[in-house]
Amino acid sequence: MTQAPASSPLARIAQRLRAHDWFAAAIEVAIVVLGIFLGFQVTQWNEERQNRAREVSLMLNVARNLRDDVKEMDENIRTASSRMASLDHLLRLAGNWDPPRQFPSSRFAIKVEPVPPFDSRSGYTFGIEAFILSFYDGNRFAYNALINADGPNVINDQKRLGEIQQYYASADLLVTFERTLSENRLRLLDAMQAAGISAVGRSSFEDLASVVRANPPLRAAVENYWFYANRHVFLTRNLRRDAERLADSIERQYRR
């Protein structure tokens, strides 16, 4: 049997017990227990310090991705607003167009975004405005790292983690809506083609308006696409606001 070295704590305790030196043995035991406790505390402190450093890194990376999202959505809002203005301009030229302020739904009224002024100097044709779409891609590298690398277990602020998860759930809803928007774009392009209008043609808005005025199915497709374009602006603006607010909150909390 292997014996502990004479100078080891266990050997000293055994020696005290054989000598019936209970007080000294108790002190030796207390020293051993205290050493184990302090060693455990130091290990735990180091793990906690590493977890906090990891938490800061993960959260600030999420904030950087949110800033990237804001820049991307600014461009998407710009192009979507231009598209909505072109659709509105065409419908006004076609006559009898009074855009609604809201749409009723089964749960609540759907808000209609204000239509930006039409910019006749842009040089874009209606076909190009209808054809070009800028969709939300998003940068989820930090969020995926946060979720897939045991990140939730090192995040102290579970409320903040919930806000991040809610943001990306809202982003998924925007992506789903954009698929529907893309489908409506295809319907409009089909209606334009059926009416003899090319998406890459150079027809003026005035000429197109006369065709829309005389073609109820085409007008319906234009009006439907205007609604989806308007809703796209609304959803993107809301998500952009959430991204900026959340990035601000994370940076205030973790950049200390």
Give the pLDDT score at 68: 95
Inter-residue long-range contacts of 237-241, CB under 8 Å, 24+ positions, other chains counted: 237/73, 237/77, 237/113, 238/170, 239/69, 239/73, 239/136, 239/167, 239/170, 239/171, 239/174, 240/69, 240/70, 240/73, 240/74, 240/77
Condensed to tens digits (0 to 9), the pLDDT of residues 115-138 reads: 888 887 777 677 777 777 788 888
Q: For position 43, what pLDDT does the model report?
A: 57
For residue 247, is it left (φ>0), alpha (ψ between -120 and 50) or beta? Answer: alpha
Tell me, what amino acid is at 123? G
Residue 214: φ, ψ to 5°: -95, 0
pLDDT for 154: 73
Q: Name residue, tokens 């055994």.
A: 14
pLDDT tens for residues 57-84? 888 999 999 999 999 999 999 888 888 8
- Owner of token pair 């969020």: 143
Distance of alpha carbon 226 from alpha carbon 247, whole angstroms: 31
In this structure, what token pair is assigned to residue 81? 């607003």
Per-residue pLDDT tens for 22-69?
Answer: 666 566 666 666 666 656 555 565 556 666 778 888 889 999 999 999
Sequence-ordered strand ranges (E) for the chain: 102-103, 110-111
